Amino acid sequence: MSQVRRLPRKNAAASKPTTGSVALLTGTRKGAFILRGDRSRRTWKLSQPMFLGHIVHHLVLDPRDRRTLLAAARTGHLGPTVFRSTDFGKTWQEAKAPPAFPKVPEGQKGLVVDHVFWLTPGHPKEHNVWYAGTSPQGLFRSEDGGHTWESVKGFNEHPLRRQWTGGEQDGTPDGPKMHSILIDPRDSNHLYIGMSSGGVFESTDKGASWAPLNKGCRADFLPNPEPEYGHDPHCVRLHPLNPDRLYQQNHCGIYRMDRAEGRWVRIGENMPKQIGDIGFSLVLHPRNPEAVWVFPMDGTEVWPRVSPGGKPAVYVTKNAGKSWIRRDKGFPKAQAWWTVKRQAMTADAHEPVGLYLGTTSGELWASRNGGSRWTCFVRHLPEIYSVEAAEL
Amino acid sequence: MTVHIPSPLRSYTGQQAEVNVNGSTLEEVLATLDQRYPGLRFRIITEQNTIREHIRIFVNEQQAQDLMTALRPDDQIHILCALSGG
């Protein structure tokens, strides 16, 4: 993995800032919303709710056509499904065959998808390919734009899957999850996944085989704090302009990996000790692989999972984690006991970069200047599960 | 026989609260329902052919435990959403 490989031309183009309008695709515990911004990103128009009453874990635009949306949805009672829109959310069609584990022979206990948690559009050269990650941990692939989904056998039926992922109790309170499905822009066969629990895994053959990639990352909740797998990455990101640079916000801190080194380095050790380096979300600068934003939460004692001290703040590093700067202008100064889930913080590709985060209390906050100042521009939404910035 | 459809599933049935379907087992009835209303079955039955955790299916006044439950032409089938959620 250490050899230098050339980026496709399309990725080189991604090094230029965008100037168009941005839409925020927002999944909540009670439905999905789209916010359309103007070109200045000062004013936003909130859509009516879509799938009202559904739990929408992820709402994602296909960057290959900038028109197609996929939504991962379920209700409290009904099973999981995926909806697809080819007109940016005006009309929706349900998947003909949503992600589902293979049926096992009578008498055996088979896996059941509880919810689809994560959606990733395929490689730019693989038109209509999508990946989905589920709870419990499962990987699924669609080759027809999300109409039908196939189980990725190389993971879902791997003889070690049960060992890698642990049991159903080894995950987040609402179920163990597969997330952070990443595709190397240089090679559509090269995939990464993150699992809570399980850790980070890598495939170089489009999911046929997998290997753990957790060296250097701690799992201090296990008897052996440095196991080969069983970790709890909350959010893993790959930089599109330097795909050999990975970052992760983990249950046990903030980490960076340069593939040539092959080892995770805990860059969260450089965060202020009273804040710590626990959180869910992690956002990369679209053009600078050295710049990362995180939103720390209280991970002490019983893990309150709220802003430390009730004082929300984003922290940014501009040197790949050597040092961190607090960015809290505009946020409440006290008594704000919310946090930001792993899919609920994102960036646009403007200059300066726009940052957006959705809170567990149903607020959307934006910064048009890389986090220097924050403004709340939507209130009273349901609990926000995901926010994706879509360049229109 | 008559199948009573709960409100969360009526987007599949064109808002019909009752539909008439034939079949000698629950499995057959659900297969016919899914042919007529694609996608409905998977919302209430898992990929392992079990009734989902928060769904109940009654045949007349008896709760069905599995899909091999035998049916008669005059049975009333109720698909219910269990009391859960928040």
Domain boundaries, given as residue ranges, for chain B:
2-81
The pLDDT of residue A6: 67
pTM, two decimal places: 0.94
pLDDT band at A143 (very low <50, low <70, confident <90, very high): very high
- Count CB atoms within 10 A of the CB of residue A8: 14
| Beta-strand runs (E) in A38-149 | 44-46, 55-61, 69-74, 81-85, 93-94, 115-121, 130-135, 138-142
DSSP element (H, E) containing A293: strand A292-296
The pLDDT of residue A330: 98
Comparing CB atoms, the residue among B38, B43, B84 nearest residue A79 is: B43
Q: Which of A204, A199, A195, A64 is nearest to A129 (CA)?
A: A64
The SS3 assignment for B64 reads coil
The pLDDT of residue A19: 93
Say how far apart CA A158 and CA B62 lie, in whole Å.
40
Q: Are strands A199-203 and A211-212 parallel, antiparallel or unpaired?
A: antiparallel
pLDDT band at B84 (very low <50, low <70, confident <90, very high): low
Instruction: Pull the structure tokens for residue A192.
Output: 């990464």
Q: Are A352 and A368 in contact (CB under 8 A)?
A: yes
Using the Cβ of B68 and the Cβ atoms of chain A, whether some distance falls under 8 Å is answered with: no
Say how far apart CA A183 and CA A203 lie, in whole Å.
10
Q: Where are the alpha helices (DSSP H) in A80-239?
A: 153-156, 161-165
Partner-chain contact A79 B86, CB within 8 Å: no
The pLDDT of residue A12: 55
Closest CA–CA distance from residue B57 to any residue of chain A (Å): 13
Q: Could you tell me what percent of chain A has a pLDDT over 70?
A: 96
**Most distant CA pair in chain A, distance:** 60
pLDDT digit string, tens, across residues A41-86: 999 999 999 999 999 999 999 999 999 999 999 988 999 999 999 9
Closest CA–CA distance from residue B76 to any residue of chain A (Å): 21
- In this prediction, residues A130-134 reach a mean pLDDT of 98
Report whether pLDDT(A237) > 70: yes
The domains located in chain A, with CATH, are 23-391 (2.130.10.10)
Rg (CA), chain A: 19
Report whether pLDDT(B41) > 50: yes
pLDDT band at A4 (very low <50, low <70, confident <90, very high): low
- In this prediction, residues A353-365 reach a mean pLDDT of 98
Its sign, for the CA torsion B65, B70, B76, B77, is: positive
Q: Supply the DSSP symbol for A231.
A: B
Q: How many CA atoms lie within 13 A of B40 on its CB side?
A: 24
CB contacts < 8 A (A, B): 57
**A112 contacts in chain B (CB < 8 Å):** 46-48, 50
Report whether pLDDT(A1) > 50: no
From the candidates B48, B49, B52, B81, which should be mutated to test the interface with A, based on the most A CB atoms within 10 A?
Answer: B48
pLDDT digit string, tens, across residues A325-339: 999 999 999 999 999
Taking domain B2-81, whether its CATH number is 3.40.1010.10 is answered by: no
Which residues, including other chains, have CB under 8 Å from residue B45's CB and lie 6 or more apart? A79, B30, B51, B52, B67
ipTM greater than 0.95: no
The pLDDT of residue A167: 77
pLDDT band at A10 (very low <50, low <70, confident <90, very high): low
- In this prediction, residues B34-45 reach a mean pLDDT of 97
Nearest CA in chain B to A78: B43
Using the Cβ of A102 and the Cβ atoms of chain B, whether some distance falls under 8 Å is answered with: yes
Q: Are A215 and A208 in contact (CB under 8 A)?
A: no
The pLDDT of residue B85: 60
Amino acid identity at A288: N
- A356: β partners: A346, A366
pLDDT digit string, tens, across residues A272-305: 999 999 999 999 999 999 999 999 999 988 899 9
> In the predicted model, what is the mean pLDDT of chain B?
95
